A = this chain, B = another copy of it.
């Protein structure tokens, strides 16, 4: 079955997706556990012969974890010669064969595969990740609790977060927030993405100066302390600010 799938796809290039989500306090990555083995990987897949690369990444996210029209950003092509074997303390091929119950040596011609890495930025609460035919569980994991993954996927996550940090002025990390959020949440988001802490007063002063932030009449209720104000993004102003490189 996997052999048939591969026949309709490009042989030498694949796609892997590092999906970042934020739960209000820390940034997490969505991982898939393969059936019958106790190992995890990033969601990934092949590009169809007549499919644009970016469209393939969107389709793979939808097929693998049930997500549609997600913000996706290419961040690197992984092209070492033995890029999977190189990290292969795990004997990945054997594990995959055990997981899918197919003999991979039946694939007529073996190809070296480069992988295009994408990262996605999502509101964790809007996501209902669904395992695909090869996997039995999807789980959001914190960056510091990610186990040894199949293939070179630990390296991919590491480079994805470093790239996101560098590009934070230009990338819509606000996508990680719910539609309405508090200043404390946006501060937590920046702190978690950048792995830094900010002085609360300074951060609030800077962020509330930004014209893309709209203060709502509503407040967050039900918290132990006093009810904080809620905000949302003015989407078109937010996009303009990102285009220019956010100045704060």
A-side interface residues toward B, CB under 8 Å? 10-13, 47, 49-54, 56, 74, 76-81, 112, 114, 116, 166-167, 169-170, 245
Contact = CB atoms under 8 A, between A and B. Distances in A.
A50 B79 CA distance: 11
Contact of A13 (B49, B50, B114, B169): B114
B79 A77 contact: no
Given A10-B12, A79-B116, 10 more contacts: A10-B114, A11-B11, A11-B12, A12-B13, A49-B112, A51-B81, A52-B81, A74-B77, A166-B169, A166-B170
Number of copies: 2
Closest 10 interchain pairs by CB? A53-B79, A12-B12, A10-B12, A52-B80, A77-B116, A52-B81, A166-B170, A13-B13, A50-B81, A12-B13
Contacts of A78: 53
Contacts of A112: 10, 49-50
A79 B170 CA distance: 22
Contacts of A10: 12, 112, 114
A112 B53 CA distance: 11
A115 to B, nearest CB: 10
Contacts of A11: 11-12
Contacts of A47: 79
A166 B245 contact: yes
8 contacts: A12-B12, A12-B13, A52-B80, A53-B80, A74-B76, A74-B77, A77-B77, A77-B116
Contacts of A12: 10-13
A78 B12 CA distance: 15
